[in-house]
Structure 1
Amino acid sequence: MSTSAESGPPLVRVICVTYDPGSELDDFARSLEDAASGPVELVLVDNGPHADAADAVAAAYGGEVVRTGENLGYGRAANAGAEGATAPWVVVANPDIVWSPGSLDTLLAAAQRHPRAGALGPALLNVDGTLYPSARALPSLTQGVGHALFARLWPGNPWTRAYLRRQETADATERTTGWLSGACLLVRREAFEEVGGFDPAYFMFFEDVDLGERLALAGWHNVYVPSARVTHVGGTSWRERPATMITAHHRSAERYLHHRYDRWYHWPVRVAVSVGLGIRERFELRAAR
């Protein structure tokens, strides 16, 4: 990737949140070199107790390491990485992303076509080349609760099928959507700062859903750009710490749904969500042992 000294100030700050990463972080940085033709500022936010891997990648690819001193979670760490940014665009990405050549340039070109875009997301490919549903509408009451409670225990449930089908029917169309996956997200710094970044109350999971909703409420658009393609290896955090990730996922789902359905007459929904997610969490924790 170009450095600011070589070709002027960076247009994009790329923030990668890490926790004791393996070789995937080097793959991330190496592929980023071919993703953008202009200068890119790479910031690795290290949440883990050992920064050796992040230090080595930063030294090899001209990046900077931000040490948090503790595991802040994804959103808080991304916010820390964005502090002091002067580039007009910020990328927040997982370390297990592999960029396709020109993919960041493609996202930036789309941003020019969408002046009210607060966030833009690429097509996320699984390692087998299939498409991950990374651009989704904000769920309706029945879809949101049904998907949250039954997606893992009953993958073919009608609420999850309806929820995911809304992307499947338009997976090749550049369009505005409700929210975009935080696994790889280009955010307009002005919009990110306007809404206060990620909500730090989410340790992991649902911080991207919440951000997309708040951007839309502030008048910005979330734009899905399928012509930009990246591969998400996925699951590195889950494989190392499944119990922690399962609990974090359920706490974040509960927080988001309680916040979204916070009227007094939604109390039966909140009770059902808490009870249902508690049962599902216990089931998944037993299965993960």
Structure 2
Amino acid sequence: MTPDLIVVTVTYSPGPHLDRFLASLSHATERPTTIVMADNGSTDGVPEEALERYPNARLLHTGANLGYGSAVNRAVRKYLAAEDSFEGDAPAADPEFFIVANPDVVWGPGSIDVLLEAAERWPRAGSLGPLIRDPDGSIYPSARHQPSLVRGGMHAVVGPVWKSNPWTAAYRQDRLEPSERPVGWLSGSCLLLRRQAFDAIAGFDERYFMYMEDVDLGDRLAGAGWQNVYVPSAEVLHDKGHSTGRDPARNLAAHHTSTYTFLADRHPRWWQAPLRWTIRSALAARAGLVVGNSRRKIAKRKGRADDE
């Protein structure tokens, strides 16, 4: 019997998104799957309901809101191991590949099988990612270069006010037609991961609570001799409604914190301390501006709603 392909999703009161994720999964692959919901403290009862509706679902309570990468790592440690050492209800699993995806993803027909086929063509691919569409049908720039100081810095500084600037276009590879190719990093909202590569870099870096954990993963995979391969012949839709919209100001602040962690790690030497101080100051200033702007917008919308 073919062993199950493990699909890990991190839940945190996912609402109706989770059912669309689970229902569409059957169209994504012909292989048997086991879905592991690594739950970071849901209070809406939706993951528990999914257990009743989907026999191939498993629920792993992480014990707290650990963040994305930490929850994935825990699921992998429990549900992906040598077949003679599974814990508890862990099924017989394919040790070579597994999927990590947000619960607000809707799977395109055959999308997982297309990723698995591409993995055969790219034996050094540690991660493979599909073309991701936004709810309006537009293509999300999910395959990007690594954020160098110049390219990433200019994207961060002028991107919010000059959308078509050349640094953002280069960083996001906006001017390239979708094609199967190695890239710097892939969106963590949907990834096929090779277990050997994931183990070689000890999985996600758990210092990242949210944001940049996928950039870091792609960078460390490349540093260990693996590739991150974009596979646009596989398609998914990402609704982006799971957790990022609940507290935009908090999420913006977390994004800047994670960005500093990533950049400081890449410039760790003592003589680079002035650069780290400059990065920290610049990110703090930018975070103050964008977080303040976000909070003003929320207050304005709330005020209009109260007036109606």
- What TM-score, normalized by structure 2, do the two folds share? 0.86
Rounded to whole Å, the distance in 2 between the matches of 1:218 and 1:261 is: 18
Q: Following TM superposition, by how much is the alpha carbon of 1:73 offset from its aligned partner in structure 2, in angstroms?
A: 0.4
Q: Contact 1:14–1:91 at 8 Å: present in 2 too? A: yes
Q: What is the CA deviation profile of residues 110-148 of structure 1, one whole-angstrom value per residue up to 9, with x for unaligned ones?
A: 011111111000001111111111111112221122223
Match of 1:181 in 2: 187
Aligned Cα RMSD in Å? 1.6
2:252 is the counterpart of 1:246 = yes
Q: What is the CA deviation profile of residues 49-90 of structure 1, one whole-angstrom value per residue up to 9, with x for unaligned ones?
A: 426101111321220011112100010011111113142211
Which ranges in structure 1 are unaligned for 5 or more consecutive residues?
A: 1-6
Amino acid of the structure 2 residue aligned with 1:39: P
Amino acid of the structure 2 residue aligned with 1:271: W
Q: Following TM superposition, by how much is the alpha carbon of 1:150 offset from its aligned partner in structure 2, in angstroms?
A: 3.9
- Which of 266, 277, 284 is residue 271 of structure 1 equivalent to? 277
2:105 is the counterpart of 1:97 = yes
Q: Contact 1:171–1:226 at 8 Å: present in 2 too? A: no
Match of 1:129 in 2: 137
Q: Following TM superposition, by how much is the alpha carbon of 1:157 offset from its aligned partner in structure 2, in angstroms?
A: 4.1
Q: 1:114 to 1:72 in 2, by over 3 A?
A: same
Match of 1:262 in 2: 268
Amino acid of the structure 2 residue aligned with 1:80: R
Of structures 1 and 2, the larger Rg is shown by 2
Match of 1:39 in 2: 32
- Which of 67, 70, 80 is residue 76 of structure 1 equivalent to? 70
Segment drifting more, 257-266 vs 62-71: 257-266
Q: Contact 1:149–1:273 at 8 Å: present in 2 too? A: no
Q: Contact 2:249–2:292 at 8 Å: present in 1 too? A: no
Rounded to whole Å, the distance in 2 between the matches of 1:109 and 1:60 is: 30
Match of 2:238 in 1: 232
Match of 1:113 in 2: 121
Which ranges in structure 2 are unaligned for 5 or more consecutive residues?
A: 82-93, 296-308
Amino acid of the structure 2 residue aligned with 1:38: R
Q: Contact 1:148–1:277 at 8 Å: present in 2 too? A: no
Rounded to whole Å, the distance in 2 between the matches of 1:161 and 1:8 is: 43
Q: Contact 2:11–2:42 at 8 Å: present in 1 too? A: no
Rounded to whole Å, the distance in 2 between the matches of 1:150 and 1:267 is: 25
Rounded to whole Å, the distance in 2 between the matches of 1:114 and 1:158 is: 30
Q: Following TM superposition, by how much is the alpha carbon of 1:158 offset from its aligned partner in structure 2, in angstroms?
A: 4.0
Give the number of aligned pairs. Answer: 280
